[in-house]
Chain A
Amino acid sequence: MKRDGVKYPKFANKFSRIDFEAEPLPVLCLYPIPAPVALNALKLSVCGLDGKRRSVAWTDLAGVPRITLRQPLICQIFNWSETVEWEGVRLVDVLDHVGLKSPAAGYFAFYSRDGHFFETLSSDEARDPRVLLAYGLNGQPLPLQHGAPLRLVVPFLQGYKSVKWVKKIRAFRADPMGIKRLCGQSSDARLSEAWRRKYGIEPPVETVGNAGGRGAKR
């Protein structure tokens, strides 16, 4: 076993692909990997609270600053983590660039091109500057198995929030919950204290959404 300490949850058999030998990150896919799409051919579908869809080509985002960010990807469920260098654009910049707003206590959902996987972030989480839409990994183009051409990277929550193959983004008033909660595979995306302490990483807000179901109702 290449990565020591990996634990298999009881629903591991539902994963279509598990590869802990892969570098620089293990490959874990709940659903089959979709067919490749080139970054320049990527069209994101975005939808605001008005329910109106718009198509945004990757090339429309040329003005959004590119950054690299070294951050851990932490998979608490299978008990591994790797620190890698992501290259991408800040989600908050993209949201602002395309004018996608959610209410302060609102949510964004991110849908994968695999046709099944989707996850959500609270507005605060989504606007945290550590959250990227990444197209590069350790100086290379993002490999297909890791979500190419564009994936979400949310270092301060459990790895499954970092949706691969992002295709659609939509704003919501009520929490759409995300697939892991709906499936009962994880009730809470927050990282355990041990992981947070290990990487000195804290979620932006304790009161809203995934970073804290404990907060007051708004």
Chain B
Amino acid sequence: MTASLHLIVIGNGMAAGAVLEELVKQPERPAITVFGAESHGNYNRILLSDVLACAKTFDETMLNRREWYAEHGVALQAGVAIRAIDPAQREVVTQAGDRHHYDRLLLATGSTPFLPPIEGLGREGIFCFRNIDDTERMIAWAARHDQAVVVGGGLLGLEAARGLTNRGMVVTVVHLMSHLMEQQLDAMAGAILKEEIEKQGITARLNCTVQEVLGDGRVEAVRLSDGTVLPADMVVITAGIRPNVQLAREAGLAVQRGILVDDRLHTSQPDVYAVGECIEHRGKTYGLVAPILEQAKVVADAIIGGTTRSYAGSITATTLKVAGIHLTSMGDCLGKEAGAEELVHLDTGRGIYKKLVIRADRIVGAIFLGDGEGSREAQELMASRRDISAVRHSLLMGDGNSEQQRSPVALPDTSLICNCHAVTKGEIVGAIRDKRCATREQVAECTRATTGCGSCVPLVEQLLMAVLEGSTPAGLAASAPIAAAPPNKIEIWKKEKDGLDMMEEIDRYAREGWEAISEADVQRLKWYGLFLRTPTPGRFMIRVRIPNGIATAAQFRLFADISERFGKGFADLTTRQQIQLRNMRIEHVPEIFTLLRSVGLTSLQTGMDNIRNVMGCPVTGLSPTELIDTAPIVRQLTDLFVGNRDYSNLPRKFNAAITGCRENCLHAESQDLALIPATREIDGQPVAGFNLLAGGKMGSGGFRAARPLDLFVGPDDAAAVCAAIIVIYRDHGPRASRTKSRLSFLIEEWGVARFRAAVEERVGRPLARAGNDARDPRKKTDHVGAFRQKQPGLNYVGLQVPVGRITAAQMVEVARLAEQYGSGEIRLTPGQSLIVPNVPDQRLGALVSEPLPSRELTYNPSEVMRGLVSCTGIEYCGLAVIETKQRALRIARKLEQTVGKTKPVEIHWSGCPAGCGNHLLSDIGLLGKRAKAVKPDGSQEVVDAVDIFVGGRSGPNARPGVKLFEDVPCDRLHEVMEGLVRYVARDKSVDVLKGELISLPMAAGLTPASPEAELGESPATHQTMGEDNG
């Protein structure tokens, strides 16, 4: 220590602190006295935002406590302000008038908040946000008040706004400029930032300023420049800072905006230096920590008489510390200087904006908003002034991982980890490895990293972990989100992008053509009901949701129009009461969507892992025998989930039906969730409602009948309870294997009792146990025919649409009939047929005499025809292995002629084991396959064939059919069916049936099913089952 020299430091902020840190390291240094106006030691002002935001305590902001000064032989005069400098005498004068001699003087007087011209600033409740005292007072005030106005939407203003929000205040930021943080951001970034800030509950008012603070002694409101009066009980002013230059100016030092200094930070007076926010260097002032720390090193060197260091100005980098928003801005990010080029990455959907400003092949500035990936690389390239022309094409083309997920271990040793103190990765790793730093605190002590703005804490911690434990941060990441990585491709795709977010892609593909569609997007398009059909490249099926199957004449005309104009003139009705538009091209999809919307329809969520069309009895509200009208409940449930992202990522598809029909007109047993009519006494009153069945399924993984949950719900609760069950399935349903993901498997895993308890817990109260099943076990109807309604004088007429295929002309005709004879309503049945309701008695005769009902879509079809159901088949479905629809129709027509009148018999065709034709639940079920057959010449060939099942039944006593024959070639099928339909009778047990049928003459030469293959289990080979059949 060279005791003969005395250094006086005026100011005890971060700049002074950093200089002292440098000086005390020196073997020879002057005696030091520090005068600080604040009564604390030295603290990190930047962290006050964190303190206000509840994220740090005042303790954690302390850099050097008062003891530190004593330990290092520095005399601290805390709370002693300096009134004047006398350069001639080399003395400073305290407020109390004491004079102190100096040999060297360092001005570190910092800055003062700028107060814009606002009237009424004298009121209570107005704060600047500069020091510990301000922060303490703001916290105390915020605890007792509600609404704050922050004047100035710069870095500090936004941090203050978030801090006050965390303390329960409702905050409005009033900003004079046209976008936020205009010093560090361009207009685009400012606009995105505004959105993000507003998501956090902070209102930003731009192009506006506070003119006047109103209130009686205390802030009650502010008047803005646009005349608005905003109620407020707190005003925080963060409108920038002004260097504190008064002392210097009065002492005759050269001063402009700041105290003028040269590259050695020497002022215009001999032996007087200045550092920090109070200086102006090469025309620039600085308000950030990193440049000040750079300056501190230089000025400390100058003070002790060194000559090695000089200051050339700083390239600044700013990070906004608002939790949940990543924002870094650096250098000349506004591209103000001539010759600037811009490289931009913009993702408005995710709120990501990245921009590099390049001049003469060098990065001179950058903005990273929403995602920091690439920001460190950019900062390095900028700092090193490297020529980027060779890597220009790959800049901003990151690997999609955000900064947090990326390993700092992968960074080069020269990479800056702590921007504030310019600490590189190499220095930090060195400190951990060589200086035995085992905690972040020790690393901080050693290198000062993390003690600036604190944004590098996660990186330092990852480095610590990596070096100490030898584990790579990549491995660490794997134990967090990646460990929960979804197990199959579809799950991965769903996580990447919600199927409901596909509309922009659809518009793009409509422009670019179907070949541009990625594998994942082919699947995601199904969320919009768009199914690219493998057998017809480039052609889509569009499945339109029709809740409860209730449609209108106008909608049918539109289906006809769309099929004519964009397809091949026909459409298919599905077993879920929907319509499938065929042969559609992606180019037309946006227009088709618009058309569908115009008649109140949507194709949303009709495929993949969604709640499919909610079914209901097609004559609900009409049937004289039904227990409850379900149309409003179906609508209520549908409105809840369509377009709602809470329901757009289920483990697998979810089929639901809500029916009040006592006549078993739909397959409740095969639904994931079915509400079936039941009655129960509740509080002494009889209530008509529903019993719940759950866990039914067809297709891959085999048939499972829905089982009773032993729960009863009334009509008012029905939709809510359904939603609760779906949410339980969403959250807990198995997702590992596509063939083991339906609700059935969850119920199997949990058992009915636990599942029921989960439903009650989710609903939040106990539910009634099952009531009396109101279904008539003897009945099973398809509602085809002419029947009286509960409304006197009105009838509904069911028209059978063979295998569900309907032409455009037929659709137009049905629409005409519905309007002319009925009320314009048309309903779709689970049996792929149509119903024209509300036909008055007087017109019934005329209606059924019309050509369509009497000849084409008949109201009185033959018994084989009326029970005929077929899946789509190979024509449009990529899964089917044989053609089914036309074949089913052909064979049925032939049977009509050869067998004549029969007992009612249902014949269901499925083209693959997915079982969309419900072949297992019908009197005769046909499952398509390819099989070897012997030709007349004795040679073998592979032909279209079926396995034949008999004795299946839906309804209260549902049972799957048993397999009777295997590998029956389709060209022999007619004769076999002729034999079967005469003998299949519903009242026989399947075993009796099988015994009788297998001995029939027509069975000669057929392969009886092997005993172990009897049950209707299907090979679970397909990943995507039965998707062409809604």
Task: Say yes or no: is A182 at the interface (Cβ < 8 Å to chain B).
Answer: yes
Q: B762: CB under 8 A from chain A? A: yes
Q: List the A side residues contacting B144 at CB < 8 Å.
A: 115
**Cα-based distance from A175 to B147 in the complex (angstroms):** 20
B147: A residues at CB distance < 8 A: 53
B166 close to A (CB within 8 Å): yes
| Chain A 114-140 interface 0/1 with B at a Cβ cutoff of 8 Å (1 = within) | 111110000000001110000000000
A167 contacts partner chain B, Cβ-Cβ < 8 Å? yes
Query: Given A53-B146, A104-B644, A214-B484, is A174 in contact with B167 using a C-beta cutoff of 8 Å?
Result: no
Contact present for B199 and A45 (CB under 8 Å): no
Q: Is the CB of A115 within 8 A of B140?
A: yes
Which one of A105, A170, A218 contacts B168 once the chains associate, using CB atoms below 8 Å? Answer: A170
With both beta carbons as reference points, the residue of chain B lying nearest to A187 in the complex is identified as B480
- Tell me the bound Cα distance from A49 to B199 in angstroms: 9
Query: Are B200 and A174 neighbours in the complex by a CB distance under 8 Å?
Result: yes
Binds B, one of A77-85, A190-198, A199-207: A199-207
Known contacts A105-B645, A170-B168, A218-B645; A183/B498 CB under 8 A: no
Residue of A105, A174, A176, A204 near B166 (CB, 8 A) is A176
A49 to B645, CA, bound (A): 20
CB of A179 within 8 A of CB of B166, answer yes
**Interface: B495 (CB within 8 A):** yes
Interface residue? A111 (CB, 8 A): yes
Give A167-193 interface residues, CB cut-off 8 Å to B: 167-168, 170, 172-177, 179, 181-184
- Residue A92 lies at the interface, judged by CB distance under 8 Å to chain B: yes
Whether A177 and B201, one on each chain, are in contact in the complex, defined by CB atoms closer than 8 angstroms, is no
The interface bits of chain A over 141-182 (1 if a CB of B lies within 8 angstroms of the residue's CB, else 0) are 000000000000000000000000001101011111101011
Q: Do B201 and A183 touch (CB < 8 A)? A: no
* A176 touching B201 in the complex, CB below 8 Å, given contacts A53-B147, A115-B142: yes
Given A45-B146, A116-B167: A177 and B324 interface contact (C-beta under 8 Å)? yes
**A-side contacts of B324, CB under 8 Å:** 174-177
Q: Could you tell me if B167 and A182 are in contact, using CB atoms closer than 8 angstroms?
A: no
Using Cβ atoms and an 8 Å threshold, which residues of chain A touch B139? 115-116
Query: In the complex, A173 Cα to B139 Cα: how many Å?
Result: 24
Q: Interface readout for A1-17 with B: 1 if CB under 8 Å, 0 if not?
A: 00000000000001000
- Within 8 Å of chain B (Cβ to Cβ): is A63? no
Please state if A174 and B199 are interface contacts (CB–CB under 8 Å): yes
Please, which residue of chain A has its CB at the minimum distance from the CB of B144?
A115
Judged by a CB distance under 8 angstroms, whether A28 is at the interface is no
**Per-position 1/0 for A34-54, Cβ under 8 A of B:** 000000000001010101010
In A79-107, the 8 Å CB interface with B consists of 90, 92, 104-105
**Which of B50-58, B288-296, B693-701, B923-931 touches A?**
B50-58
Q: What 1/0 flags go to B186-206 for Cβ under 8 Å of A? A: 000000000010011101000
Q: Smallest distance from the beta carbon of B851 to chain A beta carbons, Å?
A: 51
- A96, chain B: closest CB distance, angstroms: 12
Bound complex: CA of A172 vs CA of B323, how far in Å?
14
Interchain nearest-CB distance for B96 vs A (Å)? 36
Shortest CB–CB separation between residue B169 and chain A, in angstroms? 9
Q: Determine whether the beta carbon of A168 is less than 8 Å from that of B166.
A: no
Interface status of A62 (Cβ within 8 A of chain B): no
Tell me the B231-284 residues at the A interface (CB within 8 Å): none
**Given A173-B201, A218-B498, A118 contacting B764 (CB threshold 8 A):** no
Asked whether, in the complex, the Cβ of B167 is within 8 Å of the Cβ of A115, the reply is: yes
Q: A14-B57, A177-B324 are in contact. Are A129 and B764 (CB under 8 A)?
A: yes
B168–A183 contact, CB under 8 A? no
Taking the complex as formed, is B649 at the interface, i.e. its CB lies under 8 A from any CB of chain A? yes
Are B55 and A51 in touch, CB under 8 angstroms? no
A14 to B764, CA, bound (A): 38
Closest to B764 in A: A129
CB-CB contacts of B322-338 with A at 8 A, as 1s and 0s? 01100000000000000
CB within 8 A of A182: which of B53, B199, B649? B53
A204-B762, A216-B498 given; A118·B168 CB < 8 A: yes
- Residue-by-residue, is B599-630 near A (CB-CB < 8 Å gives 1, otherwise 0)? 00000000000000000000000000000000
Q: Does B996 contact A (CB under 8 A)?
A: no
Q: A interface, how many residues as a size bin?
A: 35 or more
Cα-based distance from A175 to B199 in the complex (angstroms): 9
**Min distance, Cβ A133 to any Cβ of chain B, angstroms:** 15
Complex contacts, A182 vs chain B, CB 8 Å: 53-55, 166, 323
The DSSP consensus for interface residues of chain A is loop
A-B contact count (CB 8 A): 102
State in angstroms the CA–CA spacing of A92 and B763 once bound together: 12
- Assess the A174–B55 pair: CB atoms within 8 A: no
Residue B478 at the chain A interface, CB threshold 8 Å: no
Q: Is the CB of B323 within 8 A of A168?
A: no
A183 close to B56 (CB less than 8 A): yes
Tell me the complex Cα distance, A170–B146, Å: 12
Interfacial chain A residues near B761, Cβ < 8 Å: 129-130
Which residues of B in the span 644-698 have a Cβ within 8 Å of any Cβ on A?
644-646, 649
Q: How far is the CA of A177 from the CA of B377 in the complex (A)?
A: 29
Per a CB cutoff under 8 Å, which of B166, B199, B200, B646 touches A118? Answer: B166
Q: Residue of A at shortest CB range from B325?
A: A174
Out of B56, B165, B731, which one reaches A206, CB within 8 Å?
B731
Q: Are B167 and A118 in contact (CB under 8 A)?
A: yes
Complex formed: what's the CA distance from A179 to B165 in Å? Answer: 12
Q: Mark B932-967, 1 if CB is under 8 A from A, else 0.
A: 000000000000000000000000000000000000
Bound: A14/B60 CA distance, A? 11
- Which residues of B sit under 8 angstroms from A114, Cβ to Cβ? 143
- Bound Cα distance from A114 to B484, whole angstroms: 38
- Residues from chain A with Cβ under 8 Å of B323 in the complex: 176-177, 181-182
Residues of A within 8 A of B165 (CB): 176
- Is B794 at the interface (CB under 8 A from chain A)? no
Contacts of A115 in B (CB 8 A): 139-140, 142-144, 167
Q: Report chain A residues within 8 Å CB of B649.
A: 207, 216
Which chain B residues numbered 310 to 349 have a C-beta less than 8 Å away from chain A?
323-324
Contacts of B763 in A (CB 8 A): 129
B99 at the interface (CB under 8 A from A): no
Cα of A74 to Cα of B199 in the assembled complex, Å: 32
Q: How far is the CB of A57 from chain B (nearest CB, A)?
A: 16
The reply to whether B199 and A173 contact each other, CB–CB distance below 8 Å, is: yes
Return the chain A residue nearest B203 by Cβ.
Answer: A51
Task: Tell me, rounded to whole Å, the shortest Cβ–Cβ distance linking B810 to chain A.
Answer: 42
Q: What are the residues of chain B within 8 A of A104 when measuring CB–CB?
A: 644-646
C-alpha gap A113/B146 in the complex (Å) = 12
B100 close to chain A: CB less than 8 A: no
- Whole-angstrom distance between the Cβ of B632 and the nearest chain A Cβ: 22
Nearest residue (CB) in A for B56 is A183
Task: Please indicate the chain B residues that have their CB under 8 angstroms from the CB of A118 in the complex.
Answer: 54, 166-168
Tell me, in angstroms, the Cα distance from A49 to B200 when the chains sit together: 10
The answer for the CA separation of A152 and B55 in the assembled complex, in Å, is 21
How far in angstroms is the closest Cβ of chain A from B457? 8
Chain B residues near A92: list those with CB within 8 A.
Answer: 764
Which residues of B sit under 8 angstroms from A213, Cβ to Cβ?
Answer: 481
From known contacts A53-B170, A216-B494, infer whether A172 and B140 are also in contact, taking CB-CB under 8 Å: no
Report the separation of the CA atoms of residues A109 and B761 in the bound assembly, to the nearest whole angstrom: 24
Which residues on A sit within 8 Å (CB–CB) of B764? 90, 92, 128-129
Is the pair B200, A172 in contact by a Cβ cutoff of 8 Å?
yes
How many angstroms between the C-alpha atoms of A61 and B795 in the bound complex? 52
Which of chain A's residues has its CB closest to B496's CB? A216
In chain B, what residue has the closest Cβ to A52? B170
Pairwise interchain contact A116-B54, C-beta atoms closer than 8 A:
yes
Interface centre among A49, A129, A172, A174 (most CB of B within 10 A): A174
Residue B765 at the A interface, CB < 8 A?
yes
- Do B170 and A47 touch (CB < 8 A)? yes
In order of increasing CB-CB distance, the 6 nearest A-B pairs are A129-B764, A115-B143, A111-B168, A182-B55, A174-B199, A168-B168
6 contacts between A and B (CB under 8 A): A104-B645, A104-B646, A105-B645, A109-B168, A128-B764, A129-B763
Besides the known contacts A129-B763, A181-B323, 9 further A-B residue pairs in the complex with CB atoms under 8 A apart: A45-B146, A47-B170, A104-B644, A176-B200, A176-B323, A205-B731, A206-B731, A213-B481, A214-B480
